[in-house]
């Protein structure tokens, strides 16, 4: 076992040549429940696996029942190889007769998705294996996800069943209490309140005591949204690394990304860092092209109104073009062209060109808010179509001629021609 642990192929071959045991577990607590082949497969030593198999090592033994958290009961050498993404070793084991149907392969497949950072596969398998992953394996995967500082992996691990155990903030001498038996820290308001106060250390301690980073009560903000409202990059990072759902929304339907962009005008570099961090963690709901108007128009409108070209560029990097072509972008053009825009004229013109180059087009099929339906004069021909263009006509008349020409290229018809239709 010492030769396998050290990856010493020469020493292992010499031991086997002298008649050393091929399948006997080690004597140390860390190796007494695994065979040499299991350990070599886990560590990824392909040359040692080959030497052991050629010497007659058996790939079929399973980890026996034992009292330790690791290794998982019932695992074979193939499961250890699969769990750590050692595909070449797994193929070699299969060629030498290792069963491809042991029950541990599902658990190993999930572990492999985590180790290989296959986020979508990890989330998919997490839903299938919910509350079925052995605790020892789960703890190891959590440590790996924390080392990688990966919000996506932590969310998958929370989906599959990982929860910290709730403990008292003070040392009472009592044993830890299961999370399922105690409401999150006995106070669903706790984490949101600590985030709103900007108390970084107390937030960290609350999470360490077992408070779920997604817990909140109706009509209050989830902790991640509260951190976004504060534009607190450090708290956003802490919550994301603890597996907070990046697209969780408040009762009003606003996500953390929505708030970061909407509050970015005077937030300086922190807004761009926070937005990029949320995208890196998998935020996509805010840029959805679904709906009428598309859901993503809200965040694009907020970025344009905030006069943040860097934020707009980031949204384009993340797929804003797919949102722009999903429906008439009249509202976005209105935000940029309106004479009372807070942006300097040079910035507004640059944003206008950015919209047009990104595929945003103007059209007459624009949803009308219910509160305005009674105000639109129904005696005019096609009154809703005229309403769709009215603001743009008014704003364009107060801007330089080249603005009107670009709007016309984007689909804005002539006011006189439209009224003669």
Local confidence pLDDT in tens for the 421 residues of the chain: 889 999 999 999 999 999 988 899 988 888 889 999 999 999 999 999 999 999 999 999 999 988 888 899 999 999 999 999 999 999 999 999 888 777 789 999 999 999 999 999 999 999 999 999 998 999 999 999 989 888 889 989 988 988 765 545 444 344 444 433 344 444 577 889 999 999 999 998 888 887 889 888 888 899 999 999 999 999 999 999 988 999 999 888 899 999 999 999 999 999 999 999 999 998 988 788 887 778 889 999 999 999 999 999 999 999 899 999 888 899 999 999 999 999 999 999 999 999 999 999 988 665 555 544 444 444 454 554 566 788 899 999 999 999 999 999 999 988 777 666 6
Cα 243 from Cα 31, distance rounded (Å): 32
Alpha helices in 165-268 (DSSP H): 190-196, 200-208, 223-230, 233-241, 256-262
Residues in the chain, how many? Answer: 421
pLDDT digits (tens, 9 = 90+) for 315-367: 999 989 999 988 889 999 999 999 999 999 999 999 999 999 999 998 866 55
Residue 114: C-alpha distances to residues 70, 82, 110, 240 (Å): 18, 11, 6, 16
Tell whether omega for the bond before 293 is within 30 degrees of 0, i.e. cis: yes
Q: Residues 6 or more apart from 402 whose CB is under 8 A from it?
A: none
CB 292 within 8 A of CB 367: yes
Residue 249, SS3 per DSSP: strand
Residue-averaged pLDDT of the chain? 86
What sign for the dihedral angle of Cα 194, 198, 201, 207? positive
Query: In the structure encoding, which two tokens stand for residue 20, read together?
Result: 């050393």
Query: Residue 164 and residue 182: Cα distance in Å, rounded?
Result: 12
């Amino acid at each position: 076992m010492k030769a396998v642990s050290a990856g010493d192929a020469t020493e292992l071959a010499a031991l086997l040549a002298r008649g050393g045991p091929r399948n006997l577990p080690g004597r140390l607590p860390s190796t007494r429940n695994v065979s040499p082949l299991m350990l070599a497969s886990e560590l990824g030593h392909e040359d040692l696996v080959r030497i052991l198999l050629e010497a007659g090592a058996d790939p079929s033994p399973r980890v026996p029942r034992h009292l330790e958290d690791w290794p998982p009961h019932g695992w074979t050498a193939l499961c250890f190889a699969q769990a750590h993404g050692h595909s070449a070793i797994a193929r070699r084991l299969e060629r030498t007769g290792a069963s491809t149907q042991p029950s541990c392969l599902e658990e190993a497949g999930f572990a492999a998705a985590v180790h290989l950072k296959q986020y979508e596969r990890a989330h998919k398998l997490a839903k299938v294996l919910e509350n079925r992953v052995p605790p020892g394996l789960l703890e190891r995967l959590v440590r790996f996800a924390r080392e990688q500082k990966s919000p996506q992996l932590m969310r998958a691990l929370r989906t599959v069943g990982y929860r910290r155990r709730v403990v008292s903030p003070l040392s009472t001498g009592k044993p830890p209490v299961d999370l399922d038996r105690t409401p999150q820290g006995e106070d669903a308001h706790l984490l949101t309140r600590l985030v709103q106060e900007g108390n970084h250390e107390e937030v960290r301690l609350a999470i360490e005591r077992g408070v779920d980073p997604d817990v909140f009560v109706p009509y209050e903000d989830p902790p991640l949204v509260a951190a976004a409202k504060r534009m607190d990059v450090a708290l956003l990072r802490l919550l994301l690394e603890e597996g907070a759902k990046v697209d969780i929304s408040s009762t009003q339907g606003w996500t953390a990304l929505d708030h970061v962009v909407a509050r970015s005008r005077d937030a300086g570099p922190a807004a761009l860092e926070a937005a990029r961090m949320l995208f890196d963690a998998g935020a996509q709901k805010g840029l959805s092209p679904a709906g009428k108007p598309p859901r993503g128009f809200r965040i694009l409108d907020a970025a344009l109104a905030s006069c943040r070209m860097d934020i707009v560029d980031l949204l384009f990097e993340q797929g804003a073009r797919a949102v722009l072509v999903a429906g008439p972008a009249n509202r976005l053009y209105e935000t940029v062209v309106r004479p009372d825009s807070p942006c300097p004229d040079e910035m507004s013109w640059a944003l206008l060109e950015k919209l047009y180059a990104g595929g945003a087009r103007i059209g007459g099929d624009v949803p009308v808010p219910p509160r305005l339906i009674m105000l639109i004069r129904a005696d005019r021909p096609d009154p809703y179509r005229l309403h769709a263009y009215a603001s743009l006509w008014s704003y364009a008349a107060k801007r330089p001629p080249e603005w009107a020409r670009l709007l016309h290229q984007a689909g804005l018809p002539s006011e006189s021609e439209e009224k003669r239709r």
